[in-house]
Structure 1
Amino acid sequence: MQISFNNYINTVSQVKKTNETSNYQENEKVDYSNYSAGDIRKISYEEAKANYEDIQKRINELEDTKDGEKTALMFQYAKINMSDNDNLNKAMYETLGSIENPANTMWMQLEMQINLQDFYAGKPTEASFVVSNDDIHVSTELSRAQLNSIDIDAFISTMLDKFSQDLSETTGTVKEQYQNIVNGYKLFQQHYNDAVGAPFYA
């Protein structure tokens, strides 16, 4: 499951361009009845948040396909209300929406969820695919209040430092997996910094 960060950035630009040219106004009534899962995944965070119920109704009407597009959309859409930190919600939503391949979207969502749970619990950072006889991962999903309490800048910094180190110390298929994680967190960092108005350093 190889994900190119350059492809990520190109996709981000395409999504931003699509959103910028949609001429969406906050009070505008949009008919989503013909939107596919792929169409909805390209909707900006602001539009999705403003029209949450109408879009959720359309999502419920959609049938899943073999490529998992609806499932990927559901993971992405759930991020709109994941916490009271709007910058976190926006960054998570846009990160997942920027990954075109549904399987890659679901994989990155799972990775970040497990990493957040482990980070909150104070456990050492390990990739989701790392297994052990010991309980190295937390299986309980974080509550809204727990997510609110996380220092996202510290989380991103910790993930990038650890997974960049893992990347430098591995080879072969495992190295590719760590590269994918690092790429994903760089993308998340970019979206989060954009949300809070902070500069992004590649």
Structure 2
Amino acid sequence: MKDLLSLFRNSLAGLRVLVALTLVLGVAYPLLVTGFAQAVAPWRANGSLVTATGEHTTDRGEAVGSALIGQLVDDPTLFQPRPSAAGDGYDMLSTYGSNLGPESPDLIAAITQRKAEVAEREGVAESQVPPDAVTASGSGLDPHISEAYAALQVPRVARENDLSEDVVRRLVDKATHGRPLGVLGEPTVNVLLLNISVKNAAK
């Protein structure tokens, strides 16, 4: 009888802890963080949505994409993103890297094929194709490309849109983000914002 009573008391104590932690960590904390994010940076808190003019928006009905999520681009007049390993075309429900090692025959074959395709599309030698043009990011959803990959695409985009290369380079500069905290990583170019600028300039 004492064992059963002790088991009941311990189970009741564990249940109380479970309920308390669920309320604190599962309800109160998320609400607090969400409220803080909405007050401080509502644009980012709502998914960093972007309108067709390149302006930030918190109205989901006006958005053409997110500055945080890559998109497939099948228009030859626009800048191309890096490849995605997240399903078929930046599927946010399937975010992942390829999980293939550097010696994987599948990865080597994919890189070789992509390098040939990019070189042909941009009219350059395969040795000029930067790494991010042929490899996916760890999340598979990265919306950015390197400055080198953007620069490689400038002549084609300028030609296809009847714009000067200087104009397109200025658009690239405008869509370029510096190193986080000034020292981390490398500068990157947001493809969505850049392509919106290209479309507006070509009108």
Pairwise TM-score range, normalised by the shorter structure? under 0.3
- Which structure has greater strand proportion? 2
- Which structure has greater helix proportion? 1
Q: TM-score, normalised by structure 1?
A: 0.28
- Choose between structure 1 and 2 for higher RCO, CA contacts under 8 A separated by at least 6 residues: 1
